[in-house]
Amino acid sequence: MTFFHRRQRASGAAPARPAARAQAALSDALQALRGSFIVADLETTGLSTASCEILEFAAVRVGAAGELEREYTQVVRTCGPVPPFISRLTGITQAEVDRHGVPVVQAFSSFLAFVEDLPVFFHNASFDRRFLNAAADQTGLPFANATHCTLALARRAWPELPSHKLDILARHVGASEPTHRALADVRTTVAVALAASSRLAAA
């Protein structure tokens, strides 16, 4: 049996509350958006890191003035076949993977070289971070960048919206529609991140 010992709090200290943590995460994200940053996205063969693989990496480097500086995209040669429903969703076929895919260690290494040490934004970051952590475990290549979530930013910027899915946000801010191809979705996410940043800064 394992016993857990309660740590003594310093006099007058209070435990961090979820609202305080959320506010700190928001402040960190807004600070990151004031300099150069990365927006990234992954396509995967499913939802579970235990049984599914990264299918595509994409990232865009955004300058401090909000300009798109460079792009990276790479299809991964997965160990298993691309599920038909994923091909229908993303447009990534087995033939494309066979022709243009590279091993995950090569794709992940190139992705890490592209993002350098910059903060990285994802839409629904917890999902992408789980797959990146799994890739790090698989390849031995660490991913240590600060990560931020544009979904959380959007919820704070536009609480009146009934949903904060990327396609709804794209229409709301006048950005291009996401397509479930990683690079197209990254470009949409960049527009959402910048619009959310402007709205929250003005609040």
Tens digit of each residue's pLDDT (9 = 90 or more) over 42-95: 999 999 999 999 999 999 999 999 999 999 999 999 999 999 999 999 999 999
Give the pLDDT of residue 176: 94
By the 8 A CB rule, do 76 and 97 touch?
Answer: yes
Q: Which two tokens stand for residue 24?
A: 């700190």
Give the pLDDT of residue 8: 46
Q: Which fold has domain 34-202?
A: Nucleotidyltransferase; domain 5 (3.30.420)
Give the pLDDT of residue 202: 81
Give the pLDDT of residue 129: 97
Domain ranges of the chain: 34-202
Give the pLDDT of residue 112: 98
By the 8 A CB rule, do 198 and 34 touch?
Answer: no
* pTM > 0.85: yes or no: yes
Per DSSP, 71 falls in state E
Give the pLDDT of residue 15: 52
Give the pLDDT of residue 4: 32
> Would you say residue 11 has pLDDT above 80?
no
Instruction: State the Cα torsion 153-158-163-167 to the nearest 10°.
Output: -70
pLDDT tens digit string along 137-183?
999 999 999 999 999 999 999 999 999 999 999 999 999 999 999 99
Give the pLDDT of residue 19: 83
Which is more confident, 34 or 8?
A: 34
Give the pLDDT of residue 5: 37
Give the pLDDT of residue 84: 97
pLDDT tens digit string along 85-98?
999 999 999 999 99
Give the contacts of 4 (CB within 8 A, at least 6 positions apart).
none
